[in-house]
Structure 1
Amino acid sequence: MTEDRGVYLRLLSDIRKAGAEFYKAPDKYLDSIIKLKTRQSEVLAGLAVSAKESGSADTTTLDKIISELAMLAQRMTVKNDIKPVSVDELPGIGKKATESLKKQHIETVEDVLYNFPYRYEYIGESRSGKKALTGIFQTGAVVTTKNRKRIYKAVFSGDFGQFAAVWFRFSAGYPAGVLKEGKKYTIYGQSGSFSGMESIIHPQFMKESEMGNIIPVYSLPKSVAQKVYYTAVNAALDKYLDQIPDHLPARLEEKYKFPSSKQALLEIHRPKNPYELEALSEKRHPAAKRFIYEELFYLQMGLLYKKRAYERQSGTVFDIKKEYLDWIKDLLPFKFTGAQRRVMAEIFNDMSSTGQMNRLVQGDVGSGKTIVAFTAGLVAVKNGYQVAVIAPTEVLARQHMLNLLKLISGTNVTAVLLTGSVSGAEKKHTKELIAAGHVDFVLGTHAVIQEDADFAKLGLAIIDEQHRFGVEQRKSLIEKGYMPDILLMTATPIPRTLALSFYGDLDISIIDELPPGRTPINTVSEKNIERVYPLMREEIKKGHGVYVIYPLIDTSEKLDLKAATDEHRKLSQEFGADNVGLLHGRMKHEQKSELMDAFKAGNIQVLVSTTVIEVGVDVPHATVMVIENAERFGLSQLHQLRGRVGRSDRQSYCVLVASENVSDEASERINAMCAHADGFKLSEIDLEMRGPGDFFGTRQSGLPEFRFSNIVRDVRILQDARSDAADILSDDQDLSSPKNTVIKQVLIRKWRSELQYIEIG
């Protein structure tokens, strides 16, 4: 069947290259199709015979033949998937190796074939300084160097004089045990000089026949030897390569001149040309680009398919009346920034359309995302609908409640809080009010939409600080009969390339302007918190608040980190026990609320905390953020913490206190924080430093894993893949055309286990 597909593809390629000539003189192509006598498609054979016998086939019939050819090739692709074969079926892979490889997610033959080398060894002279030498072993001995290090030195005689092999790590049996006087050896390794003699450092023993060979090097567990694994890879290629499918439509392979998946795998695992090794290692070779493109193509196809499914769903149509906007404007004590006005226009455009809004609003800390969302909510209320505001924590839900109550004070708009800490009787009464339609805004955590509340007329769901509003939440809304417009917010600035990958199913708005009157935060680094005490005292005298953040609650024996509980005691002695509070995640909600209220009121001026205050806490008079063990925090987290100060026109400070010995990467993060205030710039630096896989700390749920691609490196391929996916869906929104059969089948298989958008979208 694999060979049949190759014939179909070649024939299809020839017809497409012929262009208009095919329609003028199709006979030779029709003869080729008839000769196939394929059992795969009687339709194709019948069309070819009919066209041949007619003597002058019409364009429609010839077009059908091309379509049927493409469809058959693609059907074979889908059916040809490699059946799962355990890795222990391969030679040399025993029980221990199988267990080790499993931890690295290499469990099947398919995993072996798609686990690519990260570099290659060319057995011969190379630019890296490695070379091979052949000679007769003369003598060997343990030698003590000037620095009193013991090494093993072996001397050989070659065609161009003597040379040495040097081992800094050796044993009683190796290499002395394998070297025989008068025997000829070929050694390969890093070239150097030792005691004035040309030398190979820690060489490998090679056969002369192996000279010029290219050996792939894989990322493997320590217990699995490279040679053993490479033998297994070759066995997998020999036995199973023919079962590997092509998941890309032939027309896309042709467009980018990609090799087939089988040919690409051979070029990656068994390269022949040493001059292509650098391109293969750096994933610039067409064989590597083929799999990078395929991965990104199906990612974008899935996201865009899902996005179009949302757009086709009937959402709530809101009337955006000028009188509503004028009424809201009168409630505000400030004017919107240009960026806020632009984003609201985008939101209102969605709300007034027939499709369901699915929009993400990005904005740096303090950019005013929440007021934009509340404005959209007030428009929904004026249209007679209810609004759900969902926050990730109860602390943030309560803060949203306080801010909303200030905004709607003096109006007839109503709001309730529905969280885990609301008592049973009160919760029951609140849910009854919501179900009866007597409440406009319902604020809480995700439980609000998943189980706790039935709405009378839910029109808008505002989701705050959730990296993704997942399939389960959407499913819960649909099962309850709701189809509200959905507005997501995040204060994690995301570079555009990453947003395309993680949020490609959403429309994205960016608030890239801070409100006027904000004084830039002065960010510096220190080695000792005691050097920050004078600044803290000075700000406390002005009546300002100080945060001191630690990564742990209690001291850890394993980690040399300062703990919040220990440092709270120390700071209490320094600034007075009544003036220093301790906040952490293990405290009961009532304790947290009392402490935050005391800090907001200025009754305590130093708040020692873990990262529980990272997102959303708003205390305008807080002007100092001290972060201990700053090297332990990621860039995004540091920027979020810094955003807790600088929320007024007062000069604010962020002090990053790092340990004496920190890694180069940690120093780079701290230096970036001191140099840049722009969250989007920091997010780009963060993405470059950590790569897309770790950008959010954990891999995003609901998305296929990146196996081959790196969207920092592969941004151009990502853009091509998205453009191609968009073109295909514009032409065939349900992927119902025969030419897109393979795309739909692969798409369902790739996404089904993680994101059941077919059933929901």
Structure 2
Amino acid sequence: MSKMANLTCSVRYAKGVGEKRAQLFKKLNIKTVSDLLYHFPAYYEDRSNVVPIGQTSSGKRQVIQGQVLLVNQFKITKKLSVFKAAIRDNSGVIYAVWYNQSYLNKLVKKGKELVVSGKVELKFNQKQIKVEDFEFLSGDEKDNLHLRRIVPCYPLTEGLSQRMLRRIIKTNLEEKSFYLIDSLPSEIRKRYSFISLPEALNNIHFPEDFSRQKEARRRLVFEELFLLQSALALKREEHKKESGIPFSTDRELTSSFFHYLPYSLTLSQKKVIREILEDMRSFRPMNRLLQGDVGSGKTVVATLVLLTAIANGCQAALMAPTEILAQQHWLNLRQLLAPLNIKVALLVSDLPPGDKKEIRTGLKKGGIQLVIGTHALIQKEIDFNELGAVVIDEQHRFGVMQRLSLRSKGKSPHVLVMTATPIPRTLALTSYGDLDLSIIDELPPGRKSVITRWTSGSKRRQLYRFIREKLKTGRQAYFVYPLIEESEELDLKSAQEAAERLQGDIFPDFRVCLLHGRMRREEKEAIMDSFRKKKIHILVSTTVIEVGIDIPNAS
């Protein structure tokens, strides 16, 4: 078996795993031995400092070490049993307490050396430690995984414990280190003084001190970015070899569009348009990321891309992450393109079957020139007559495969992806290194910059006063909540509960309305239409509305 095969084989063959545990590991997205070794700790606990029993302090989590003097097990109720062990060192005695751990009677015996961590308390005139973790003292400190060291704490799933996972990872690290292949070239490791891959993995899981953990993390982070950039560089090279459709950008249709625009373009928009048109004139298909704040004018730029394809006899598609955003684009583009007599369609998942069929036929035969939609656009049954340009809005909400799926509907179409999320240039080049980057860094006249402020719950009344003053001047407001139902597992506000409270207690003299993803399309359309027409003052929503919505009056 090759080195790579040893690491890519199923995790069930890893020592200590087996078929049953492999199913649990799958829930953590650990499918291979390599996945197991790269399942890094979420955080660490420093349990390296062993405190003499006589110096322990009540109320603190501490680590103690000593010899078991005596053990006692008893029941408090039918469902609650207690196991106690008196532990002594040279400075004193403490009672270690476990609850509902009857199996310990066979393990913890008088005379054994024990290391224990937990919260120290004073009860019944006894110093007690409520045991969170323990370990029998080993002669070899390397065998200590849970105490007397910096201890890794991993993301878990039901059925797996920290102790079990530490032991499995430690065992397989020792067994599989030989099979690890270092992906960093030796000259790079030497230039940046990186430790070897086996050493890095060992120190990220079981560091002797935090300086070694940082050294391991530095090397592994670099490796991840190095591999990402290498893959993106290969992708760019492959993209350069593709043959695209060189479009003529001097067409009557695009000239007419600018003629009918009711406003002038900003200098930033003009600069970005020049970059895009240069791409679309070349034999290499455009692959560009457009970044700009909400209201900066990305839609006009995107419309030019779509129109250029249509003017050259091709079809165009715009994909958005939510039905609300797709509908917003559809309404805006219908209005912008009304004088140009272009056949535009909206394709979303909950359209009536008859309407979907009509759109599919129109796309396949070429009758529909421009389609705007959600993920419904990348379904297998969607075929284009000749797709020449693709625009993807809010790129970060789609995976790479979804972007490629839409792109594959045509023969190397020109692709523009857009985001309103501010991305530092260095990060953009790292995350989207296969894309050329354009930025609209100027707002149209009259548009104010977005101000983002964080406020604590204690200043909620001040926030409400501020919103009320804005509402009185005719402005509108959004309240965005992550969930639409209460969850016992997640401490998050419910949008339904918030809407009732805002309407009943906080803003009874203004109209508050709730919007969420489970509503029917007709309901969502009606609410958004009312909000645009200022019939609704406050819109309470889940994250269905968090991206890309452009309603200038909602300040």
Give the TM-score normalised by the residue count of structure 2.
Answer: 0.71
Deviations 1:661-692 (A, max 9, x none): xxxxxxxxxxxxxxxxxxxxxxxxxxxxxxxx
Q: 1 CA distance for matches of 2:425 and 2:465?
A: 41
Match of 2:525 among 586, 593, 615: 593
Kindly provide the amino acid, as one letter, of the partner of residue 247 in structure 2.
Answer: F
Aligned partners of 1:458 and 1:137: how far apart in 2? 76
Task: Indicate which of 403, 416, 419 corresponds to 2:344.
Answer: 416
- Aligned equivalents of 2:496, 2:401: Cα separation in 1: 37
Match of 2:302 among 370, 373, 377: 373
User: Which residue number corresponds to residue 90 of structure 1?
Assistant: 15
Structure 1 CA distance for aligned equivalents of residues 497 and 49 of structure 2 = 58
Measured in 2, the distance between the counterparts of 1:178 and 1:573 equals 59
- 1:236 CA displacement: 3.6
Question: Which letter maps to 1:377?
Answer: L
| Bigger Rg, which one | 1
Q: 1:416 to 1:612 in 2, by over 3 A?
A: same
Give me the whole-angstrom Cα distance separating, in 2, the residues matched to 1:508 and 1:110: 34
Distance 1:383 1:574, change over 3 A: same
Evaluate the alpha carbon distance shift between residue 589 and residue 188 of structure 1 in structure 2; reply closer, same or farther with a 3 A threshold. Answer: closer
1:474 maps to what in 2? Answer: 404
| Distance in 2 of aligned mates of 1:424 and 1:205 | 63
Structure 1 residue 489, shift from structure 2 partner: 1.1
Q: Which amino acid aligns with 1:600?
A: R
Give the 5 Å matches for 1:516-531: 516-519=445-448
1:295 is aligned, of 201, 224, 245, to 224
Aligned to 2:476: 545
1:525 deviates by: 5.8
1:515 equivalent among 444, 457, 463: 444
After superposition, the Cα gap between the structure-2 partners of 1:564 and 1:527, relative to the gap in structure 1 and judged at 3 Å, is farther
Query: Counterparts of 2:31 and 2:331 in 1: how far apart (Å)?
Result: 52
Write the letter of the residue equivalent to 1:418.
L
Higher RCO, 1 or 2 (CA under 8 Å, sep at least 6)? Answer: 1
Contact 1:549/1:564, CA 8 A, preserved across alignment = no
Q: 1:391 aligns with which of 296, 306, 320?
A: 320
1:594-613 alignment, distance < 5 Å: 594-613=526-545
Contact 1:362 1:509 in 2 (8 A): yes
Counterpart of 2:239 in structure 1 is 310
1:14-33 correspondence to structure 2 within 5 Å: none
- Once the 2 structures are TM-superposed, how far is the Cα of residue 398 of structure 1 from its aligned partner? 2.8
Q: Could you say which residue in structure 2 is the equivalent of 1:242?
A: 178
Question: Does structure 1 conserve the Cα–Cα contact (< 8 Å) formed by 2:12 and 2:18?
Answer: no
1:594-636 CA distances to partner (integer Å, 9 max, x unpaired)? 332233223444444444333343333x3xxxxxxxxxxxxxx
Aligned with 1:441 (options 370, 378, 382): 370
* Secondary structure in structure 1 of the residue aligned to 2:547: coil
Structure 2 vs 1, CA of residues 541 and 291 (structure 1 numbering), >3 Å: closer, same or farther? closer
- Post-superposition offset of 1:459: 2.0
Q: Distance in 2 between matches of 1:219 and 1:496?
A: 34
Q: Does 1:279 align with 2:211?
A: yes
Judged with a 3 Å threshold, the aligned counterparts in structure 2 of structure 1 residues 108 and 165 are, in CA distance, closer, same or farther, namely: farther
Bigger helix fraction: 1
Match of residue 658 from structure 1: none
Give the letter aligned to residue 518 of structure 1: R
Task: Return the alpha-carbon distance in structure 2 between the equivalents of residues 265 and 548 of structure 1.
Answer: 44
- Determine if contact 2:480/2:495 at 8 Å carries over to the other structure: no
Contact 2:251 2:311 in 1 (8 A): no
Provide Cα deviations, 1:423-468, integer angstroms capped at 9, x if missing partner: 6666666666555655543333343464566544432111112423
Secondary structure, counterpart of 2:296 in structure 1 = coil
Q: Partners of 1:232 and 1:372 in 2: how far apart?
A: 54
Partner of 2:153 in structure 1? 219
CA distance in 2, matches of 1:602, 1:595: 10
CA contact 2:87–2:96 (8 Å) conserved in 1 = no
Change (3 A) 1:422 1:178: closer
Cα distance in 2 between the residues matched to 1:186 and 1:124: 12
Query: Is residue 564 of structure 1 aligned with residue 500 of structure 2?
Result: no
CA distance in 2, matches of 1:614, 1:264: 40
Letter of the structure 1 residue corresponding to residue 496 of structure 2: A
Q: What secondary structure sits across from 1:218 in the alignment?
A: strand
Q: Kindly state the Cα deviation for residue 104 of structure 1 after the two structures are TM-superposed.
A: 4.1
- The match for 1:348 among 277, 280, 286 is 277
C-alpha deviation, 1:357, in angstroms: 0.9
SS of structure 2 residue aligned to 1:508: strand
> Residue 444 of structure 2 aligns to a residue in which SS?
coil
Q: Contact 1:367–1:515 at 8 Å: present in 2 too? A: yes
Distance in 1 between residues matched to 2:519 and 2:313, nearest whole Å: 39
Q: CA deviation at 1:309?
A: 1.8
Superposed displacement of residue 304, structure 1: 2.4
Tell me how far 1:355 sits from its aligned partner.
0.7
Q: Distance in 2 between matches of 1:306 and 1:204?
A: 50
Distance 1:138 1:450 in 2: 69
Deviation for aligned residue 1:572: 6.9
TM-score norm. by structure 1 comes to 0.55
Q: Distance in 1 between matches of 2:152 and 2:310?
A: 59
The size of the alignment, in residue pairs, is: 518
Q: Is the 8 A contact 1:564 1:610 kept in 2?
A: no
8 Å CA contact 2:85, 2:96 repeated in 1: yes
Contact 1:121/1:214 (8 A) holds in 2: no
Question: Is contact 1:139–1:155 with CA below 8 Å preserved after alignment?
Answer: no
Q: Does the Cα contact within 8 Å between 1:187 and 1:200 map onto a contact in 2?
A: no
Is the 2:245–2:413 Cα contact (8 Å) retained in structure 1? Answer: yes
Residues 189 and 200, structure 1, Cα contact 8 Å, conserved in 2: no
Q: Tell me the SS of whatever aligns to 2:153.
A: coil
